[in-house]
Amino acid sequence: MRIINIREQVEYKDNAIKYIQSKWASKENLRLYEDCITHSLKTNSCLPVWYLLENKGEIIGCAGLITNDFISRMDLWPWVCALYIEENYRGNSLGEKLLLKLKKDTKGAGFDNLYLCTDHIGYYEKYDFSYIGDGYHPWGGSSRIYRANLIKQ
């Protein structure tokens, strides 16, 4: 089992685009992930960063660190996005492994907090994320916002 940072292993770029699109994109926004991942390899900024989780050559999960997850709280960053674990691998703490890697890289980049937005209640709390309020999406609707304080960790 290994976590692949696409910036560090750019040969995974096309696989990352295809996999993340298959889990998160619709036909209307396929280009969004392709464009974001491609340009993340060319920036001097520490964000965005995309990750794959691989097991014996098979991609079984993904996640990203981004500046904003289409949420009104643009005063907060960085954000966890696109966290996904294949269903037949769930229940093995693999989401936790990805979150720990994202926390480590976020802290290493000099950030004190890591944020995410979700409608899930009970999952992220297990991994030291605390609910801090609601945020609003450009398409309408809202999501719960969570923060992990990285100074305590």
φ, ψ for residue 111 (rounded to 5)? -90, 145
Enumerate residue ranges in the chain where pLDDT < 70. Answer: 153
Domains of the chain, earliest start first = 2-149 (3.40.630.30)
Q: What is the pLDDT of residue 153?
A: 62
In 56-137, at which residue ranges do the beta strands (DSSP E only) sit?
58-66, 79-85, 113-118, 130-136
Q: What is the pLDDT of residue 51?
A: 98
* DSSP element (H, E) containing 52: strand 49-55
pTM above 0.85, yes or no: yes
CA atoms within 13 A on the CB side of 138: 4
CA–CA gap between residue 83 and residue 64 (Å, rounded): 7
Q: What is the pLDDT of residue 152?
A: 72
